[in-house]
Copies of this chain bind each other. A is one copy, B any other.
Amino acid sequence: MAAKTAFEHAYAVIMAGGSGTRFWPLSRRRRPKQLLRLHGPKTLLEQTLDRIARIIPPSRTFVFTGAPILREVRRALPRVPPSQIIAEPAARNTAPALGLAAHEVLGRDPEAIMVVLPSDHVITRTREFLRTLEAACLWASSEGRSVVVGLKPTRPDSGYGYVRKGGRVARVAGRVIYQVEKFTEKPNERLARRYLVTGRYLWNGGMFVWRAATLLKNLERFQPRMAKGLAAIARAGGARAVRTFRRLYPRLEKVSIDYALMEKISDAFVVPADLGWSDVGSWAVVYELRKKDAQGNVRPPASLLFDAQGNMVYSPGKFVLALGVENLAVIETEDALLVCPLALAQSVGRAVEELGRRGFGRLM
């Protein structure tokens, strides 16, 4: 479906370093969200690869993750060459990883275009997603341009960063490209409602497209110290490569690409898109995404619910009987059980942080 010219220099860079606790007890330090089957039979990470593999082959796909889950990530993505699944020696947020990815792909292809994708989001409109990337790659193939996918907001969410679109600059592959007027941090609720009303604000879902050379140039300009460190890591070859990587990478500034660059550069563009996107932020979101019974319950086949409505029951190993409960999350794994109103699902992460302090760190 996509023109060969759009993707022939494209490299996918999948960011799989996340380590959330919001899906505890299903998610753990060593089993973060991207490794969970929250939506469909495959993990979110596998779905991310499947989606992008339709236009960029796994041989041109890089995955950045953390050392504790490297083996699991490699096992989940057998089509990606293991050497392209890279464990960061320390979590430094997205900017250092993307700088390193730029060096890697530039070594292979001076024309390389990077397609940056989070690994733990749901996208239900794959065709629209691929078309959007086609437009972004075509537009970003000119030097100097950085493109962000701007997700059309469906509610006044104060949990996301927003992109304010400026003037329309082109129509590419059926998609409209806008200048980015401004990247904004998470707004408060009042502001988020205003953002939604104006129609000028889009969610920043962490999907970027740019030439690797453009990224490196921008890093040199706006993050010269980081650029230097990255260059040193990239230069070190042979036996010294791994040692240098392990020594220098943890010293790089811990900063997101949004903050390090996107908010600073002038040649930023946004492609608005409606992708059926969700960052699956809590059990409440999983509840929304899943199929429900006639009483609005998400529940396993081995369960009986009486006078129960709007509950999210996850219990792969155990029969569940529930009576007279409403809008409750009941999440069961081999060693732990979570019970809380779905309305409080966003607090689960904070509660789990307490586990360590109360002597239950092994359960985190």
| A336 touching B321 in the complex, CB below 8 Å, given contacts A358-B304, A360-B302, A360-B304 | yes
Copies of this chain present in the complex amount to 2
Nearest-neighbour CB distance to chain B for A292, whole angstroms, equals: 17
A window 328-357: CB within 8 A of B? 328, 330, 332, 335-341, 343-344, 347-348, 351-352, 354-355
B339 with A320: CB separation less than 8 A: yes
- Count of residues in A whose CB is under 8 Å from the partner chain: 35
A window 279-322: CB within 8 A of B? 302, 304, 306, 315, 318-322
Nearest-neighbour CB distance to chain B for A161, whole angstroms, equals: 27
**CB within 8 A of A337: which of B332, B336, B363?**
B332
A318 with B337: CB separation less than 8 A: yes
| A336 touching B320 in the complex, CB below 8 Å, given contacts A341-B325, A360-B302, A360-B304 | yes
| A339 touching B319 in the complex, CB below 8 Å, given contacts A355-B304, A360-B304 | no
Alpha-carbon distance A71/B338, docked complex (angstroms): 36
B344 with A323: CB separation less than 8 A: yes
A215-244 Cβ-contact flags toward B at 8 Å (1 or 0): 000000000000000000000000000000
Residue A324 lies at the interface, judged by CB distance under 8 Å to chain B:
yes
B355 with A338: CB separation less than 8 A: no
A319 with B347: CB separation less than 8 A: no
Residue A17 lies at the interface, judged by CB distance under 8 Å to chain B:
no
Chain B residues within an 8 Å CB radius of A348? 321, 323
Residue A24 lies at the interface, judged by CB distance under 8 Å to chain B:
yes
Chain B residues within an 8 Å CB radius of A336? 318-321
Alpha-carbon distance A330/B25, docked complex (angstroms): 16
Nearest-neighbour CB distance to chain B for A353, whole angstroms, equals: 11
- Chain B: CB-nearest residue to A323: B340
Chain B residues within an 8 Å CB radius of A24? 321
Alpha-carbon distance A138/B321, docked complex (angstroms): 49
Alpha-carbon distance A306/B348, docked complex (angstroms): 10
Chain B residues within an 8 Å CB radius of A322? 338-340
Chain B residues within an 8 Å CB radius of A306? 347, 351, 354
Alpha-carbon distance A163/B320, docked complex (angstroms): 40
Alpha-carbon distance A354/B360, docked complex (angstroms): 37
User: Could you list 15 examples of A-B contacts with CB < 8 Å?
Assistant: A304-B354, A306-B351, A319-B335, A319-B337, A320-B336, A320-B337, A320-B339, A321-B338, A322-B340, A323-B339, A324-B341, A324-B347, A325-B339, A325-B341, A337-B337
Which 4 residue pairs spanning A and B have beta carbons closest together?
A323-B340, A319-B336, A322-B339, A324-B344
* A interface, CB within 8 angstroms of B: 24-25, 302, 304, 306, 315, 318-325, 328, 330, 332, 335-341, 343-344, 347-348, 351-352, 354-355, 358, 360, 363
**Known contacts A318-B332, A321-B351, A323-B344; can you find 8 more A-B pairs with CB under 8 A?**
A25-B319, A319-B335, A319-B337, A321-B338, A321-B355, A322-B339, A323-B341, A325-B341
